[in-house]
């Protein structure tokens, strides 16, 4: 499942291709049977709208038009691509024809993705975004926030990091990697993380996410960026997916276990 760096990478690719802010001249919904069923009438309101921006909030891509936000979550296998001619592929579910004669196509074999149109400023708009925590790369996620929000919290620090109401966009891969860099065991109770550790954890989260964005995300299973190529961060992972392998820092074996239903990796020597 794509996490923040993958969605950010895809977003940057889309922003480049949509720099001239084309108008949407037609839409076609071939299959609306996604995670949340969607109908062609709902998305039809996009016709005539200009695509003014593509942004990211948490793990959502947001296609911004004059009146609407088309909110997209890629689920397990969603992807966007541009086509000049016909080029129809299996599992192409949604097609936007643009005024520059290209087609912007959403493909999703497993159909866990989300397409939802919300009117800017509506109650629904507020409801969609209201429950999300701060962005990890923005200023309001700092060591003071982490310290305050974890006090009295009895869940593990890894589960805390992955809770989108606490901080958005950090999934299993990047939570594991950031905890390694900060020297904190994933299983530690969030409420017991010390003040100095909060500081190093915030730094580690930012560093891990930024270097993943710099290398175009991690390709684990199906993720591809906007140009169809793989990310490179999977080659730089320190612990995730490396159970039994030597730690890159101390050569001790990386341990793995299941924590809160998710596979978890750590170095028993480097992480306390
Ligand atoms: Zn180690």
Distance 254 CA to ligand 1 centre (A): 7
Just list the catalytic residues.
2-3, 59, 262
pLDDT bucket at 85, cuts 50 / 70 / 90:
confident
**Alpha-carbon gap, residue 116 to 104, rounded angstroms:** 16
**Alpha-carbon gap, residue 17 to 6, rounded angstroms:** 17
pLDDT bucket at 229, cuts 50 / 70 / 90:
low
For residue 223, is pLDDT > 60? Answer: no
**Alpha-carbon gap, residue 244 to 246, rounded angstroms:** 7
pLDDT for residue 248: 95
CA 250 vs CA 245, 246, 253, 271: distances in Å: 11, 8, 9, 11
Express each pLDDT in 16-64 by its tens digit. Answer: 999 999 999 999 999 999 999 999 999 999 999 999 999 999 999 999 9
Express each pLDDT in 88-142 by its tens digit. Answer: 899 999 999 999 999 999 999 999 999 999 998 888 887 778 889 999 999 999 9
Distance 194 CA to ligand 1 centre (A): 21
Distance 250 CA to ligand 1 centre (A): 4
For residue 215, is pLDDT > 90? Answer: no
- Average pLDDT of the residues in 151-163: 97
Distance 169 CA to ligand 1 centre (A): 26
Percent of the chain with pLDDT over 70: 94
For residue 194, is pLDDT > 90? Answer: yes
Query: Do 206 and 233 touch, CB atoms closer than 8 A?
Result: no
Mean per-residue pLDDT of the chain:
92
Distance 182 CA to ligand 1 centre (A): 12
Instruction: Indicate the length of the chain as a whole number.
Output: 272
Report the predicted TM-score, pTM, of the whole model to 2 decimal places: 0.85
Distance 171 CA to ligand 1 centre (A): 22
DSSP 129-168: HTT----TTSTTSSHHHHHHHHTT--SBHHHHHH-TTTSS
CB-proximal residues (5 Å) to ion ligand 1: 247, 249-250, 252, 267, 269-270
């Amino acid at each position: 499942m794509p996490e923040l760096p993958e969605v950010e990478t895809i977003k940057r690719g889309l922003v480049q291709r949509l720099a001239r802010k084309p108008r949407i001249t037609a839409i076609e919904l071939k299959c609306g049977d996604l995670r949340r069923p969607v109908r062609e009438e709902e998305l039809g309101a996009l016709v005539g709208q200009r695509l003014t921006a593509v942004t990211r909030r948490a793990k959502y891509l947001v296609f911004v038009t004059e009146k609407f936000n088309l909110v997209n979550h890629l689920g397990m296998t969603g992807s966007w691509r541009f086509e000049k001619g016909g080029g129809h592929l299996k599992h192409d579910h949604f097609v936007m024809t643009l005024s520059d004669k290209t087609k912007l196509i959403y493909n999703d074999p497993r159909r866990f993705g989300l397409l939802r149109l919300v009117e800017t400023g509506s109650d629904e708009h507020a409801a969609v975004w209201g429950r999300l925590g701060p962005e990890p790369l923005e200023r309001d996620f700092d060591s003071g926030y982490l310290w305050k929000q974890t006090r009295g919290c009895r869940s593990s620090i890894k589960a805390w990091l992955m809770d989108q109401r606490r901080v958005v966009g950090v999934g299993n891969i990047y939570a594991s990697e950031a905890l390694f860099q900060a020297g904190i065991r994933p299983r530690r109770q969030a409420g017991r993380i010390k003040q100095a550790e909060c500081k190093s954890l915030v730094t580690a989260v930012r560093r891990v996410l930024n270097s993943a964005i710099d290398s175009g995300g991690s390709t684990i299973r199906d993720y591809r960026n906007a140009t169809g190529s793989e990310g490179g961060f999977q080659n730089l992972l320190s612990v995730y997916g490396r159970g039994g392998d030597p730690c890159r820092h101390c050569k001790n074996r990386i341990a793995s276990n299941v924590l809160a239903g998710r596979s978890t990796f750590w170095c028993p020597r480097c992480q306390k």
